[in-house]
Amino acid sequence: MKHLQTLKLIDAVTKAGSIRKAAEDMNITSSALNRRILGFEEEFGAPIFERLHGGVRLNPAGELLIQHIRGQLADLDRVRSQVADLSGLRRGHVSIACSQAIQPYFMPAQIAAYRAEHPGVSFSVHVRDRDAAEEDLRAFESDLALVFEPVHLGDFDVLLSVEQPVYAVMARDHPLASKERLRLRDCLGYPHVVPPKRIGIRYLLDIAVANMSQKMEPIAEADSFEFMRHYVQQEAAVGFQFPIGLNLFGDDRLTFRPLAKEDVPHGSLTLMQMRGRTLSVASARFANQLAAALNSLPNELLRLARQSR
The string of pLDDT tens digits covering residues 54-110 is 888 999 888 888 888 888 887 787 777 777 665 555 678 999 999 998 988 999 999
At the second CATH level, the architecture of 2-64 is Orthogonal Bundle (1.10)
**Predicted pLDDT of residue 305:** 44
Contact criterion met (CB below 8 Å) for 187 and 176: yes
**pLDDT tens for each residue of 190-248:** 999 999 998 889 999 999 999 898 889 999 999 899 999 999 999 999 999 999 988 86
More confident residue, 4 or 130: 130
CA gap 309, 299 in Å, rounded: 16
pLDDT of 306 higher than 50: no
HSE-CB for 258 with a 13 A CA cutoff: 17
Return the closest-CA partner of residue 271 out of 140, 138, 166, 130: 130
**Predicted pLDDT of residue 235:** 92
What fold, for 166-265?
D-Maltodextrin-Binding Protein; domain 2 (3.40.190)
**Predicted pLDDT of residue 89:** 52
**pLDDT tens for each residue of 132-154:** 999 999 988 999 999 998 888 78
Domain positions in the chain: 2-64, 90-162+268-308, 166-265
What residues have CB less than 8 Å from 82, skipping those under 6 apart? 280, 281
pLDDT of 25 higher than 80: yes
CATH 3.40.190.10 correct for 90-162+268-308? yes
Tell me the mean pLDDT in the region 111-123.
93
3-state secondary structure of 212: coil
How confident is the prediction for the chain on average, in pLDDT?
87
**Predicted pLDDT of residue 309:** 38
CA gap 193, 184 in Å, rounded: 13
**Predicted pLDDT of residue 153:** 77
Maximum separation of any 2 CA atoms in the chain, in Å: 72
Q: Alpha carbon 49 to chain centroid distance? A: 30
3-state secondary structure 79-92: HHHHHHHHCCCCCE
Contact criterion met (CB below 8 Å) for 201 and 166: yes
**Predicted pLDDT of residue 250:** 67
Equal fold, 90-162+268-308 vs 166-265: yes
HSE-CB for 53 with a 13 A CA cutoff: 0
Secondary structure letter of residue 18 according to DSSP: S
Q: How far is CA 5 from CA 58, 69, 275, in A?
A: 18, 11, 26
